[in-house]
Structure 1
């Protein structure tokens, strides 16, 4: 034991310091305290990187460290996001046999069909309370499971949600290592995801289910790579049934050479999704769901990059906010970009497919009107299987978006948003330029 402690003395010290910082993050932080928030976040990035450097060949230790960091949050109520109140609200409705897609919380709170939901209603905020839910069915079932196992306690529900998310991260470790091995890439890259403070705080800490979606997506890619397309299709449908964003990748799979029958794959994905949506379907469901999704393109603005430039130009030319017209156009541009990437031959092999997926989701986020921090989970995970590292830089810089909460009226500091994206675009530009120079013959560079 003494020899073991002597060998791992420095990593152990870094682990203890990190645990103290994560505990401060989980139990002693207000999101309005921007200086403390950024300081803890930056320190945890440094400490995690040092632990990885010192123990990068010792997978058991690194996995243990990753789980310990997550378990620190187990009894904490999320302090950077209030979305979990809506998760538990939806779960309670589902357990009572009420279709959560048909009513807004504002409509139900007038004459609550469930006792003791006032705290949930007060906690979720006006934005969530005034709009129909947009969380897909598998996510809804997970919410209901958390309420069922957690009992009447909000903390109990939070703990179950947290355990589900941690379990998904362990699954990402399992399939991530296998996929890295199959691609002849260093297996320890999976810890760029698992030890990343952004992942730990946004998923385990703030209870966002992008990690569960990412687990299904990664498992699907693994089975597709193993030529088990039916299992891959079911898992891909599972990822969409947690979060809709993987739909963006469906066109890219059409030319993947290990997927012999893309039409059959798409058909099975659609069938599994239909089976999950079937219990909720009605005319009102379609109206509410479409309206809820449309809000993200025509109403909401947060931490955007290129859209903010377009908005500024719109004010100069038109004299008003052009989001209602610009949002759908930007969505169309993303769709066109994905179709162009789908037509390329690079998607025939898995490395090329993963690169196309990374660039597609990145373009989507660069053109989006709303980019919450947890949206970066997908590009960050995909990036570890590619040669691009800008998503890692983005996961560090995105903490600046929380500056909006430091203002009493929730007002973004656009200078900090500019700093965030200047770093991201700078790293990405450097990587693209370097990749192009490596690919070109020497004569072409003269």
Structure 2
């Protein structure tokens, strides 16, 4: 009775939350946009209330986080088709075929014997766009796909269950190392629940089977090892992160800055602006990352692989477009002056700007510690997303986990409003399949408003207040 009195509100909220997740997993079609927005908003409301009423009971919040994931175990993803391609690639490997050398479409159109079980169902599920391109998933990702094929080579649902278990295990790892890193950085441990209990993370990773969760696990583990001074192991684990998704490549220059300024490397302070570096250790870190990543790609390597993989990665910058912000503005300017979609040109310029921005962050900061490193990673990846031609909802997961270790909350806000991007599917069965730019504008007005407030206005106000206090 006493237990009920103490935990009545959190328990009731948990029951409501689990019921809403069940509806989301088993009673929602992505074109049902009213139900989608309503369910997502309700889940967020319950999530915020849970953090309010159970903020000091970390064990209780942890149990809820993983019960919420368990709800999705038997569900087929309803907001993404990518997992069909994951299954295809895994079964290709088990058949002794290199998934980087063939498109699913080439087998379907050729007729005759198909290379994998349930080939037609998988091709129909992934869609023509996905099926007409070479795979772009790195080797550790392919290993996960192969594991699913090994344990469930004749069932789409069975493969989805294996994927889901792998992602949940990765979330456990992120939770474990994330908590330890927060403790080491003297940041409140409860911050981890902005990620691990977030409805966006539960739905996009566990629900829709996106392997950003596995990449994030390796990334956070690597950061923990790096902060602990175990830089060799950190390099190996960082390479594993790259071998799930290529995004961590963006952070490599920032890690040079960390090594250059931080006490991990042997250094001598000559004056306020000069620091001697132990280049042997610095170069060794990059060599370990490079060799480990290369070795993981070796089983798939061929001249055709290099060409196909480069071609596929290039598509994300020069062919595909979804939920962009600054790119969409640049595209409209291109239409005004040329009358054409200049994505091929703009898609080359924007990555160059990202590169220059990251280099600026890497080489023009005087003092660096782990907190500043993670903040730089957050800002760098934000800049990348702001300039990207394609921003799928699950891309925000990396931004969100990095924000846990900073004072910035705009990624948290973005993880809520990103659901608006799914309204593109309103036109899925219509002749005009284009996105509603007013909805995208609403999403980015909210995101940029919070970003500008936190990064520029709030920081400037705090600096003025600090100077005022010093003068007094």
TM over 0.5: yes
- Are residues 1:334 and 2:354 paired? yes
| C-alpha distance after superposition, 1:150-185 (max 9, x if no partner) | 241111110010000011111111111111111111
CA contact (8 A) 2:117 2:154 kept: no
CA contact (8 A) 1:400 1:416 kept: yes
Length-normalised TM-score, structure 2: 0.92
Aligned residue number for residue 13 of structure 1? 12
Structure 1: how far apart are the matches of 2:446 and 2:470? 28
CA contact (8 A) 1:175 1:218 kept: yes
Uncovered stretches (5+) of structure 1, i.e. residues with no partner: none
- Are residues 1:427 and 2:456 paired? no
Q: CA deviation at 1:28?
A: 0.4
Length-normalised TM-score, structure 1: 0.97
Aligned residue number for residue 317 of structure 1? 337
CA contact (8 A) 1:346 1:352 kept: no
Q: CA deviation at 1:343?
A: 0.5
| C-alpha distance after superposition, 1:352-393 (max 9, x if no partner) | 111110000000000000000000011110011011110000
Q: CA deviation at 1:258?
A: 4.4
Aligned-residue RMSD, C-alpha:
1.4
Structure 1 residues 258 and 246: CA distance shift in structure 2, 3 A: farther
CA contact (8 A) 1:255 1:347 kept: no
Aligned residue number for residue 96 of structure 1? 95
- Are residues 1:250 and 2:276 paired? no
Q: CA deviation at 1:318?
A: 1.0
CA contact (8 A) 1:405 1:411 kept: no
Moved over 3 A (4+): 442-445
Residue of structure 2 aligned with 1:385, choices 384, 405, 410: 405
Aligned residue number for residue 273 of structure 1? 293
Structure 1: how far apart are the matches of 2:367 and 2:379? 12
Aligned residue number for residue 53 of structure 1? 52
CA contact (8 A) 1:225 1:258 kept: no
Structure 1: how far apart are the matches of 2:394 and 2:50? 24
| C-alpha distance after superposition, 1:222-257 (max 9, x if no partner) | 000000011101110010000000000000011212
Where 2:395 maps in the other structure, the secondary structure is helix
Aligned residue number for residue 30 of structure 2? 31
| C-alpha distance after superposition, 1:259-282 (max 9, x if no partner) | 422211110011111111011111
CA contact (8 A) 2:81 2:125 kept: yes
- Are residues 1:396 and 2:416 paired? yes
Residue of structure 1 aligned with 2:238, choices 218, 236, 244: 236
Aligned residue number for residue 78 of structure 1? 77
- Are residues 1:41 and 2:44 paired? no
The structure with the larger Rg is 2
Uncovered stretches (5+) of structure 2, i.e. residues with no partner: 266-280
Q: CA deviation at 1:346?
A: 5.4
CA contact (8 A) 2:117 2:153 kept: no
Residue of structure 1 aligned with 2:303, choices 280, 283, 287: 283
Q: CA deviation at 1:108?
A: 1.9
Residue of structure 1 aligned with 2:468, choices 437, 442, 445: 442
Structure 2: how far apart are the matches of 1:115 and 1:26? 26
- For residues 200-211 of structure 1, the aligned pairs below 5 Å read 200-211=202-213
